[in-house]
Structure 1
Amino acid sequence: MRKISNAVVGVLNSLTLLLSLPVIGAALWLSLRAAASSECGRLLHLPLLAVGAALFVTSLLGLVGSFFRVSGFLWAYLAVLSLVIVAALAFAVMALVVTNRGIGRALSGKGYEEYRLGHYSHWLRRWVHEWKNWKVIASCLKEGKFCRRGSIFAGIMAGLFFRQNLAPMQSGCCKPPKYCKFKNMNNATWTIPDSATASSAPDCLAWSNDLHELCYSCSSCKAGVVAVLRRGWKKLIIANLVLLIVVIVIYSLSCCALSNNRRRRHVTGAHT
């Protein structure tokens, strides 16, 4: 393995170098679209461009260092991999901490659950409460017409709304919370009860029948987003562990490749 480590590292980095090109291309394509000038567009294309550029530079270091036996490039490559390993370990710990709580409250006779921010970790609640973060998320939901996709409003019009299995964000963003006691009418319209039974809770006051607003400003919507993030992070933990193992293997191979470079340099120097 020591003798072929240079070739293996070179091939792996050739593949990742090729992979980085469509990633960069997709980011540039997004930046040229009209949507890229919005908050949601910047949320998508800037991180994608950063990932593609970092992957390209890192792969180039590993490729040159292994195929052309340039030890300086391999040292730089190993330094980057070390940072990746540390970052992956840190992310795994943080992800386990911030996802250790989170539940939805099932409603009797309903096909969905309702979510509250208090059910989640303090870090997630604070992150989603920050205005600059929520501004981008709400912008994406509105631009993508999230609540107008699928069959959620078709179910309302058919009188079958409460039998639907709503996703967390649909439950939190596309309807008022149940405790508001709003009455459902046709075409996604809800009527506010008389003042004697109306709730003064912030989410009830924030609800709007305007399809562009709905409950996008509600805490229940933020809780739905956090519920989805929490589920996504749990999947990322598994992907992160796989990535960590792969990077450690590549790091070990790169160390062997660096050792080969040194041995080759000593043998060359001895012959001269």
Structure 2
Amino acid sequence: MALSNNVIGGINFIAMLLSIPIIGAGIWLTTDTANSCVKFLQWPVIILGVLILVVAIAGFIGAFWRISWLLIFYLIAMLVLIILLACLVIFVYMVTIRGSGHPEPSRAYLEYKLDDFSLFLRRRVRSSYKWDRIKGCLSSTSTCSELNQTYRMAQDFFNAHISPLQSGCCKPPTLCGYTFVNPTYWISPINMAEDMDCLQWNNDQTQLCYSCDSCKAGLLANLEKEWKRANIILLISLIALISVYILGCCAFRNAKTEDMFRKYKQGYT
């Protein structure tokens, strides 16, 4: 029994370690501009990681002090959390499976259209109330202003691989035909295209294209990029947690079998 408890304790310690990359993925998402303004995925990830850590600690204590009810709680609670983590991984995969950039002639960066993204993501930015808050958050960052410090010449800017957020929010869409002055200041063409984003562009550095659908699309493209990266971490952690959980169940069953056999021998003698 003691040996089995030590094994269970070791397995739970590994589960504690596996919660760290999950929590880290959530914290990492908070550092990304798009995620920090939308504030959707990072908190579920962090909370789930913390719960896994707490449950793993409970299982470790139960194994170390041989508290059977605490081990049973660990097995039930960890199973629930693994299911929730699996649902989260599947959810992120499903909502980020759509959406990609479109190349433009003589441009290295891509441009993005709102209708290319999943309905769930579009709903995050379609509401004027939600977008006003996100727009205020975006305009307060240095996402666009840092472009002016990096690119002075038009050709340098056109050859740059800027982020989707910068492509959608910091400049007018290429189809509008604006003339480059600097990355965030453009001269309006005489015959403007009928795309509404062309009319939304404003050289005011607090306005730019933050009201454009291209900005919403660029934000979602940024979200997708970071969510996919975080989802890889979550998927690897999920697979490892499932393996550790199965080992824990086997060790717990062996411990109970050893305990029953020991009691049977004591009763027989």
The verdict on a shared fold, with TM-score over 0.5 as the criterion, is yes
Asked if structure 1 preserves the Cα contact closer than 8 Å seen for 2:8 and 2:60, the reply is no
Look up the equivalent residue of 1:9 and give its one-letter code: I
SS at match of 1:63: helix
Is this contact kept in 1: 2:184–2:208, CA < 8 A?
no
Q: List per-residue Cα deviations over 1:111-153 (Å, max 9, x = no partner).
A: 211110122222222233244554554344233321123xx22
Q: Is residue 69–residue 261 contact of structure 1 (8 Å, CA) maintained in 2?
A: no
Counterpart of 2:196 (choices 202, 209, 221) is: 202
Q: Give the alignment's Cα RMSD to 1 decimal.
A: 3.5
Change in 2 beyond 3 A, CA 1:147/1:186: closer
The structural deviation recorded for 1:223 is 0.8
Residue 220 of structure 2 is aligned to residue 226 of structure 1: yes
Q: Taking structure 1 as reference, are residues 248 and 42 closer, same or farther at Cα in structure 2, changes over 3 Å only?
A: closer
Q: Shift of residue 248 of structure 1?
A: 0.9
Note the alpha carbon deviations across 1:59-99, whole angstroms, 9 max, x for none: 32122122122222222222222223222332343334323
SS state at 1:146 partner: coil
- Alpha-carbon distance in 2 for matches of 1:47, 1:84: 12
Q: Does 1:193 align with 2:193?
A: no
Q: CA, structure 1 residues 8+223, in 2 after alignment: closer, same or farther (shift >3 Å)?
A: same
Residue number in structure 1 paired with 2:116: 119
In structure 1, what is the equivalent of residue 33 of structure 2?
none
Decide which of 169, 173, 181 is 2:169's aligned counterpart.
Answer: 173
**Is 1:146 matched with 2:153?**
no
Q: Is 1:64 matched with 2:61? A: yes
User: How do residues 1-272 of structure 1 correspond to structure 2 at under 5 angstroms?
Assistant: 3=4, 4-13=6-15, 15=17, 40=37, 50-51=47-48, 53-131=50-128, 133-135=130-132, 137-149=134-146, 152-154=147-149, 156-160=151-155, 161-186=157-182, 188-194=184-190, 197-263=191-257, 265-266=259-260, 271=266
Cα distance change, pair 190–113 in 1 and its aligned pair in 2 (3 A) = same
Distance 1:15 1:188, change over 3 A: closer
- Which amino acid in the other structure matches residue 244 of structure 2? I
**Shift of the alpha carbon at 1:169?**
1.3
> How much identity, in percent, do the aligned residues show?
32
The amino acid across from 1:159 in the alignment is: A
Contact 2:144 2:184 in 1 (8 A): no
Q: Which runs of 5+ in 1 are unaligned?
A: 31-38
Structure 2 unpaired stretches of 5+: 31-35
**Cα displacement string for residues 224-254 of structure 1 (whole angstroms, at most 9, x for unaligned residues):** 1222222333334433331221111121122
1:187–1:231 distance in 2 versus 1, CA, 3 Å:
closer
8 Å Cα contact 1:184-1:191 kept in structure 2 = yes
More deviation, 109-118/4-13: 4-13
The size of the alignment, in residue pairs, is: 253
